[in-house]
Amino acid sequence: MKMDKVAGSGNDEYMTPCYAIEPLLKYLKPFHTVWCPFDIERSNFVKMLREEGHEVIHTHIDEGKDFFTQNINCDVIVSNPPFSRKTEILERLFELDKPFAMLVGVVGLFESQRRFNMFKDNKFEIMYLNKRVSYLRSYDDERPAFNPPFSSVYVCHNILPQQIVFETVDNRRKVICSLSNQK
């Protein structure tokens, strides 16, 4: 399902709140250099990963850096990709064969033959969050812009200790991130 259609706009650029990133951090400890291919400097992924001591390389199509043509030297790839391109993005990630974690909508994740075959033929893990993620439209306004009618999960490759992991989202983390973004 395309997030842009669900949201009623022609854009599926939604930012991830800090509380949705926090559960992933403990699984990224063995990695040093993180590539965030769909992120800008102000991204919460970039900020939180740097706070955790990771070297972060961020790229974004708006800066002329196309994920499909880039080959970044990194240990792991982490982001919230454009939902309307999740199939092509996941295919490329599996081709790169680097550890990755992508936050995507769970609705329809396995419901096409193309994605079914992709997941069947590749090692992957899922991190399921206990609550839906309320995405941001802008880092300038920390209020949720979009409360999707579906849950989001992290689709991972060579990151989680087992194929499915359940994590708790702490919505109180939103307030802490709002304060750190104002610096």
The domain total for the chain is 1
pLDDT at 144: 61
Task: Check pLDDT > 70 for residue 171.
Answer: no
Say how many Å lie between the first and final Cα of the chain, rounded. Answer: 36
Strands 135-138 and 76-79 come out as unpaired
Range of the structural domain that residue 146 is part of: 3-181
> For position 58, which CATH number holds?
3.40.50
Integer Cα distance of 156 and 99 in angstroms: 7
Tell me the pTM: 0.85
Reduced to 3 states, what is the DSSP secondary structure of residue 142? strand
pLDDT digits (tens, 9 = 90+) for 136-160: 776 676 666 556 667 889 999 999 9
Reduced to 3 states, what is the DSSP secondary structure of residue 58? strand
Average pLDDT, the chain: 84
> Which two structure tokens, joined as six digits, stand for 3?
């997030």
Integer Cα distance of 173 and 170 in angstroms: 6
Residue with tokens 């709002």: 178
What Å distances lie between residue 149 and 6, 135, 145, CA to CA? 8, 12, 13
Kindly state the average pLDDT of the residues 47-61: 94
